[in-house]
Structure formats: C-alpha cells, structure tokens
C-alpha cells in the first residue's frame, strides 16, 4: 500500500482524467498490463477500491488514465495536483513477448491504457509495432493528445464521423493492417464485445492474441474471487486480478 | 504495555483479531501485505471435499457502504489445500481455523475426519448457510433436525475445537444454541453475510444469476451487532463477533457487548493490512483509558 502524490492532472475530453503520480516503488516495479487498486475518497462509501490500469511508468512516476463512469471515478475526478491517492500495486500479470515482432496493438476506447504502456515498452526496445486505436464517439479523439510527439506507427478509427480519422471500428483498421503487413503477435484491450468479436473472427485466428481484460474487482489481489472469466479448456475460471488481466484470447470461453 | 490477549474458551489468542473465512484466501495472498504472525487466528476459505467452481459472473456488486457477493463457495478442495497451502502454515504459529462446507451431512463428516488427522488445524468452522442438496437445497441452518444431526455427527468426527458459524437465517436462535451446547460445540462465530438482492434497472433484470447474494460491509454492522448481542445473551459459549467491522471502534463495539474475539471480513478486501490498523487502534484506546488488559472490557456493555 502506498500514498501516491498527484503531480500532474489533465482533463481529456468530457469524461477522461489523466493523472501523473509520484510513487517510486510502483513506478519502478510496474510492467505493461498491470494495474493498481485506488481508494476513492476517505470514507467507507463507496467501499471498494477501483482497479485502474497503468498508462506508463518511468523513474519515480507512473500515470493513470480513467473514464469517469460512476461514484468512485467521480470522486477521483475532483482530486487535484498535490492531493494524495491511496494505492495498492502494481498488481496482476503483464504482456509477454518472446520474439522481435512486428506486433499489432489494438486498443478500443479506454482499452488504450495498457496498450499504450506496452507501446512504450516496445518502442524503448526498438521493437516494431503498429498501434491501432479506436473510439466510439468523436469526443474521445481528445485522447489522441497522449500520442502527440510519439514516433509511433498509429492507425486511428472513430465510429462517429470525423473528417480527420477513418470512420469505422478499431477492428476495421486492424484488419487493414493484417492484410497489408505481417505480424507475429497481437495485443488487445477493449470492451468485452470487441474481444468477443476478435475471438470469433477467422481473420484474427492465425496469430497468437494476448488480451487485457477489465472486470469489477473486490480486492485486486486474489482474496474475493469475484473477477472471473470462464476457461475454454477444462473447468473453472481465470481470476482476472491474479491470473490476468492479460490472458491468451484463445484460452477464454465465450 | 497493553495485554491484547483474549481467552476464547480454553484457547488463548494473542489478540482478538481473527481473519474471517472467504476474505483472506488461503493465507498466502494476504501474507504479501501483512505478517500473519501478528493476528489472533486465521480462517481459511471455505473448503469442500472436491474443488468447486462457484457461480458464473457477475459475482460482486457494490451498494451503499457494502457489497453483495455471489461467489458460490468457489474453492480448491481439501486435497489441494493440504498439498499446496498447509506447508505455508507450518512456518507460522498463528492458530489456523478451517472453514468447511458440504452438500450433505456425509461430506461435512468426511471433511471433519480428514482434518482431524491434520494437527496444524486448531479448529474447524462449519459454514451452515450452503444448500443441503439432499433436502431440496434448503440451508442446513433452516432445518432443526438436519442442523442437530450435522452438528452431532461432526462433533463425533473431530476431536479438537469446532466453531459453528451462524448467520441471520436460523430456524430458531435459542434452540440452535441449545443444540450447540448439548453437542459440545466449542465456539460460535456470527455473523455470516445477510441475504440481499440487487436489480439492474437499465437492463430490467436481477444483477446475479441466483438473484439472492450475500450482503456484507460496514452497512451490516448494526444488524450483526444485534445478532451477536442476542447470542451472547443466551449462551456461555464464546462468540467470535463479526459483520461490517472496518475500524477499531467497530471491533470494540463487538468486544464490549461480549464477543471474545472479532472477525475481519470485507475490510480485508479494501485494506489488506486492516488487522494491523485495528489492533493498533485498540491498543491506543486501551492505553489512553489506562486499561492494561483487553479482557477487562469484554462484555462491559450489556
């Protein structure tokens, strides 16, 4: 458990908040795909911590990006630079790579968070990748500010028409990339429906896919067994906080 | 130096904090955050003979100052526990309580017999709120005859301490306590989560596939406290009080009304070091009041 100090805050679009936090231990341990459990407010309502993916980590700092969706994130939105966050982490597993790519990275909406961290790590190691990112509404395009100045190969889609970007889903642009280039592996994070579409789409079937799953979590460290995902082989469930959040897409039962 | 040790029957715990079943895993999950040697006792997650998958998601739903859970008793089964987790407990001296559940009386008895051979286990705790498949899925706590048979047969199968965990749903509290006393049960723990319900208004359906889920967290503390008060009123059996404890003040409420130890449950999910925080608070309270022993205040408010 740590107290992390907010050193930078930005509002991106209507609903997204970006925090840079100073907490050297978490910053030094965090890997792409991992998350932290954040206490929203000081009392007992809301009760549970919120799982938030780590956007990047470097030296003594790490960043969070979250969408304001309910009471907990609503409280977090009101915090400002100089405030402290009660944080547990880093938690969960991380993305793995055992070849030199090129890799196809797919991020849907707030699924951008772990994929962005992965892109950082790959870029640092000079490993090639294409970063596909897609949004449902134009407003979310404000998140592209995070990609400014990055020397990454980025393909953007938005389901709402906007003259600056491709109109369609992130999977549409990902399919285009698959047809034009060869990749050794795919990494994805996004809504459950997006992951489901990929799991049943023959076009994605030929490559290994590592997916980062989101879930409601009671604790984030394997006590409550609430964040489960049915396994394809054998019986039982993956516990997303412990055996995930990164899980091979082909191992999940839909 | 304040003496935090408590007598629970003829068992002495170094302090009153018991980690409650289902919220401290099999121990190791929490050991990353706290030293398990510093708690009074630890109760590992409810075990069945065979591994059990539990319920499909969603399994958790947050409500005001509480949670509803529908985990469905997922656990790794007795054999895996003995093989994978028991060696860890050999490295710490903290008393070990093992919560058990079965689908029929025979399964409880089998679990009790198997655990009787495991000396490291200080006590078994019977979870009676699971469905009895042989009696139409009604919980063991709702049928006097089955309750009596279960408790009696487990007593004959386990030679050390037996804790019976009572929830708010019991056929008759006083009669149930009489049975526990008559059968030679050692301790009572109370309470389990309360039955609760949640509806997804957007999708116009129940949140959980089984509709009813277990309600826990600070919101249930007054209800749990009343139940523990009632139990203490009708028995001399030592009671481990629990339900919604999140801070040292909550813990003291249970001790002041007569619980001899307190269980920490949901709070472990939010603050894995809750036991440490609560013990520190109790110690400071006693120190400030000039009370040298926790025993001196147990049952002071009746």
Tell how far CA A18 is from the center of its chain: 13
Our CA-based measurement puts residue B231 at a distance from the nearest CA of chain A, in whole angstroms, of 27
CB-CB under 8 Å, A1 with B271? yes
Cα A216 to Cα A51: distance, rounded to the nearest angstrom: 8
Cα B245 to Cα B256: distance, rounded to the nearest angstrom: 14
Environment class of residue A57 by beta-carbon count within 10 Å: exposed (0-12), middle (13-18) or buried (19+)? buried
How do residues B263-283 score in pLDDT, each as one tens digit?
999 999 999 999 999 999 999
Mean pLDDT (chain B) is 96
Contacts with A219 from chain B: Cβ below 8 Å: 268-270, 272
pLDDT band, residue A101 (cuts 50/70/90) = confident
CB-CB under 8 Å, A218 with B60? yes
CB-CB under 8 Å, A236 with B53? yes
pLDDT of residue A234: 76
**What is the value of ipTM here, to two decimals?**
0.95
pLDDT of residue B169: 95
List, in order, residues 6 or more apart from B10 with CB less than 8 Å away. Answer: none
∠ CA A246-A248-A249, rounded to 5°: 110
Judge whether residue A204 has pLDDT over 90.
yes
Judge whether residue B207 has pLDDT over 80.
yes
User: B217 to chain A: nearest residue by CA?
Assistant: A47
Judge whether residue A146 has pLDDT over 90.
yes
Contacts with A215 from chain B: Cβ below 8 Å: 57
pLDDT band, residue A4 (cuts 50/70/90) = very high
Tell me the backbone φ, ψ of residue B65, rounded to 5 degrees. Answer: 50, 35
8 Å CB contact between A112 and A65: yes
Cα A162 to Cα A166: distance, rounded to the nearest angstrom: 8
Share of chain A above pLDDT 70, in %: 100
Which residues lie across from A17 on neighbouring strands? A11, A66
How do residues B11-29 score in pLDDT, each as one tens digit?
999 999 999 999 999 999 9
B60 touches chain A (CB under 8 A): yes
What predicted TM-score, i.e. pTM, was given to this entire model?
Answer: 0.96
pLDDT of residue B129: 87
Mean pLDDT (chain A) is 96
Cα A34 to Cα A51: distance, rounded to the nearest angstrom: 10
pLDDT band, residue A1 (cuts 50/70/90) = confident
Active site annotation includes B130:
yes
Q: Which of B269, B273, B276 to mutate: most A Cβ within 10 Å?
A: B269
pLDDT of residue B117: 98
Among the partner-chain residues A44, A228, A229, the one whose CB lies closest to the CB of B65 is: A44
User: A38 to chain B: nearest residue by CA?
Assistant: B270
8 Å CB contact between A106 and A212: no
A224 touches chain B (CB under 8 A): yes
B58 touches chain A (CB under 8 A): yes
pLDDT of residue B136: 82
Our CA-based measurement puts residue A223 at a distance from the nearest CA of chain B, in whole angstroms, of 5
List, in order, residues 6 or more apart from B35 with CB less than 8 Å away. Answer: none
pLDDT of residue A127: 97
- DSSP secondary structure, B226-290, as one string: HHHHHHHHH--S-EEEESS--SHHHHHHHHHTT-SEEEE-THHHH-TTHHHHHHHHHHHHHHHHT
- Distances B164 to A163, B110, B240, B278 between C-alpha atoms, Å: 67, 17, 10, 25
Tell which residue, A81, A23, A14, has the closest CA to residue A54: A23
- What average pLDDT does range B200-215 have in this prediction? 96
pLDDT band, residue A100 (cuts 50/70/90) = very high
Classify A247 as helix, strand or coil: strand
Residue listed under structure tokens 């920490």: B264
How do residues B28-78 score in pLDDT, each as one tens digit?
999 999 999 999 999 999 999 999 999 999 999 999 999 999 999 999 999
pLDDT of residue B249: 98
- What average pLDDT does range A94-106 have in this prediction? 95
8 Å CB contact between B235 and B177: yes
8 Å CB contact between A232 and A252: yes
How do residues A170-189 score in pLDDT, each as one tens digit?
999 999 999 999 999 999 99
A223 touches chain B (CB under 8 A): yes
pLDDT of residue B133: 83
pLDDT band, residue B122 (cuts 50/70/90) = very high
Question: Can you point out the beta strands (E) in chain B?
Answer: 6-8, 11-13, 17-19, 41-47, 60-63, 66-69, 96-100, 121-127, 131-132, 138-139, 161-166, 187-190, 194-197, 199-200, 205-206, 212-216, 239-242, 261-264
Cα B130 to Cα B143: distance, rounded to the nearest angstrom: 12
A49 touches chain B (CB under 8 A): yes
Cα B264 to Cα B42: distance, rounded to the nearest angstrom: 10
List, in order, residues 6 or more apart from B283 with CB less than 8 Å away. Answer: B2, B4
Contacts with B60 from chain A: Cβ below 8 Å: 216-218, 224, 226-227
Cα B261 to Cα B197: distance, rounded to the nearest angstrom: 30
Cα A139 to Cα A127: distance, rounded to the nearest angstrom: 31
How many Cβ atoms sit within 10 Å of the Cβ of residue B168? 20
Contacts with B51 from chain A: Cβ below 8 Å: 236
How do residues B145-154 score in pLDDT, each as one tens digit?
999 999 999 9
B277 touches chain A (CB under 8 A): no
Determine which one of B36, B130, B164, B286 is catalytic: B130
- DSSP secondary structure, A147-211, as one string: GTT---EEEEEESS--TTSEES-HHHHHHHHHHHS--SEEEEE--HHHHHHHHH-GGGTTS-EEE
Share of chain B above pLDDT 70, in %: 100
Cα B250 to Cα B247: distance, rounded to the nearest angstrom: 5
How do residues A44-70 score in pLDDT, each as one tens digit?
999 999 999 999 999 999 999 999 999
8 Å CB contact between B22 and B42: no
Token duo for residue B66: 């509480």
How do residues B73-93 score in pLDDT, each as one tens digit?
999 999 999 999 999 999 999
Our CA-based measurement puts residue B296 at a distance from the nearest CA of chain A, in whole angstroms, of 30
pLDDT of residue B138: 87
Among the partner-chain residues B30, B64, B273, the one whose CB lies closest to the CB of A223 is: B30
CB-CB under 8 Å, B54 with A225? yes
Among the partner-chain residues A46, A228, A236, the one whose CB lies closest to the CB of B62 is: A46
Cα B199 to Cα B299: distance, rounded to the nearest angstrom: 40
């Amino acid at each position: 458990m740590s107290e992390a100090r907010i050193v930078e805050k930005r509002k991106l679009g209507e609903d997204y908040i970006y925090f840079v936090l100073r907490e050297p231990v978490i910053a030094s341990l965090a890997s792409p795909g991992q998350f932290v459990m954040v206490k929203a407010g000081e009392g007992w309502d809301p009760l549970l911590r919120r799982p938030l993916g780590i956007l990047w980590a470097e030296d003594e700092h790490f960043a969070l990006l979250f969408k304001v969706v309910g009471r907990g994130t609503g409280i977090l939105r009101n915090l400002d630079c100089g405030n402290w966050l009660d944080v547990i982490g880093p938690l969960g597993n991380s993305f793995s790579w055992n070849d030199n790519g090129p890799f196809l990275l797919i991020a849907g909406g707030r699924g951008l968070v772990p994929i962005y961290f992965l892109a950082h790590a790959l870029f640092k190691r000079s490993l090639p990748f294409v970063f596909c990112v897609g949004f449902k509404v134009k407003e979310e395009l404000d998140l592209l500010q995070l990609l400014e100045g990055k020397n990454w190969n980025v393909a953007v889609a938005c389901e709402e028409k906007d003259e600056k970007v491709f109109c369609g889903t992130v999977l549409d642009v990902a399919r285009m990339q698959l047809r034009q280039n060869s990749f050794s592996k795919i990494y994805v994070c996004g809504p459950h429906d997006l992951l489901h579409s990929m799991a049943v789409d023959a076009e994605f079937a030929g490559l290994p896919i590592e997916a980062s799953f989101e879930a409601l979590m009671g604790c984030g460290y394997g006590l409550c067994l609430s964040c489960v995902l049915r396994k394809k082989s054998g019986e039982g469930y993956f516990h997303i906080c412990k055996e995930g959040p990164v899980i091979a897409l082909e191992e999940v039962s839909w | 130096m304040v003496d935090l040790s408590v007598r629970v029957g003829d068992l002495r715990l170094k302090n009153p904090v018991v980690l409650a079943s289902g919220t401290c895993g099999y121990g190791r999950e929490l050991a990353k955050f706290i030293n398990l040697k510093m708690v009074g006792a630890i109760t590992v997650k409810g075990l069945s003979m065979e591994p059990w998958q539990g319920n499909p998601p969603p399994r958790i739903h947050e409500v005001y100052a509480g949670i509803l859970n529908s985990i469905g008793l997922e656990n790794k089964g007795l054999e895996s526990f003995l093989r994978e987790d028991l060696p860890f407990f050999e490295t710490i001296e903290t008393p070990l309580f093992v919560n058990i559940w079965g689908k029929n009386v025979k399964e409880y008895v089998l679990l009790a017999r198997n655990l009787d051979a495991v000396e490291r286990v200080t006590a078994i705790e019977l979870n009676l709120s699971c469905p009895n498949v042989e009696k139409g899925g009604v919980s063991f706590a709702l049928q006097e005859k089955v309750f009596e048979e279960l408790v009696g047969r487990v007593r004959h199968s386990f030679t050390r301490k037996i804790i019976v965990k009572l929830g708010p749903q019991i056929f008759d509290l006083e009669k149930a306590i009489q049975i526990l006393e008559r059968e030679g049960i050692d301790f009572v723990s109370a309470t389990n989560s309360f039955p609760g319900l949640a509806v997804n208004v957007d999708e116009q359906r129940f949140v959980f596939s089984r509709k009813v889920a277990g309600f826990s967290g600070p919101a249930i503390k007054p209800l749990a406290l009343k139940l523990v008060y009632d139990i203490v009123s009708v028995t001399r059996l030592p009671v481990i009080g629990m339900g919604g404890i999140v801070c040292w003040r909550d813990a003291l409420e249970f001790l002041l009304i007569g619980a001899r130890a307190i269980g920490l449950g949901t709070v472990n999910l939010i603050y894995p070091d809750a036991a440490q925080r609560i013990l520190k608070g109790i110690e400071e309270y006693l120190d400030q009041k000039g009370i040298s022993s926790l025993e001196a205040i147990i049952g002071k408010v009746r």
